[in-house]
Amino acid sequence: MEEMRLQKYLALAGVASRRKCEELILDGKIEVNGKIENVLGTKVNPETDEIKYNGKIVKIEEEKVYILLNKPIGYVTTAKEQFGRDKVLDLIKIDKRIVPVGRLDMYTSGALILTNDGDLVNKLTHPKNEVDKTYNVTVKGIVTKEDVENLSRGVTIDNDYITKPAKVKILKIDESKKISRIQITIHEGKNRQVRKMCEAIDKKVLALHRSKIGTLDVKDLKIGEWRYLTQKEVQILSSTKNELRCKYFK
């Protein structure tokens, strides 16, 4: 195996996305041959150099693993948990080191991909690739056509950020309980974005479930269950941005 940049090596080894690996390097969390390496662009030889993260040797797995989980509420998507909370990794008992692709907050259920393929992690989490995620949202209050139009055009969250155009539709309105159920499809990944979008139209989220990543859905998986992705599913996820949107949204 030829020399490569340290952040690429770490990503291919499944430590995290390439951008996150760059942060780990800058934060002095990575050792190369016994010394802290905090300079981006450093090249390593996978055959001769010893790379460590948190004191453990990091190696590129030859066999790639791709898993789809229907995440339950109450589980966090961090690889390491310092507060003793349940982790999504606790639900998947395999002998491979895998990481969650992106995050779902503790109180959101639904589709979550886990893998040791660093390139795929980077592809699915990088904003330029615009991978769509679909959420089913139950909110307090009656969602109007005007609300749908506002969400579709973009709303202001985090004081000054305007969300990109979204696909929004009303699934059900319960007039007696003053509750609405809507579907929102976005391709951004801002922290708690869907919840904040609903807050922007004065609607409190009561339940949030990510039903799809692209057209990869969890309708055949019970909450807490997982399965391996098929080769075809992996190929589609590994496609370019334009191919992703073409194949997923015919």
**Cβ atoms 191, 106 nearer than 8 A:** no
- Structure token digits, residue 151: 């969400």
d(CA 69, CA 89): 10
Let me know if 220 is a catalytic residue: no
Cβ atoms within 10 Å, residue 4: 16
* Active-site choice (105, 158, 174, 202): 105
CB atoms within 10 A of CB 71: 26
Task: Quickly tell me which residue has 């159920």 as its tokens.
Answer: 181
Element (H or E) spanning 125, and its range? helix 118-125
CA atoms within 13 A on the CB side of 159: 0
Q: Which residue, among 115, 68, 20, 87, has the nearest Cα to 210 in the 3D structure?
A: 68
Q: What share of the chain is helix, strand, coil (3-state, %, to 5)?
A: 25, 30, 45
Which residues are the active-site residues?
105
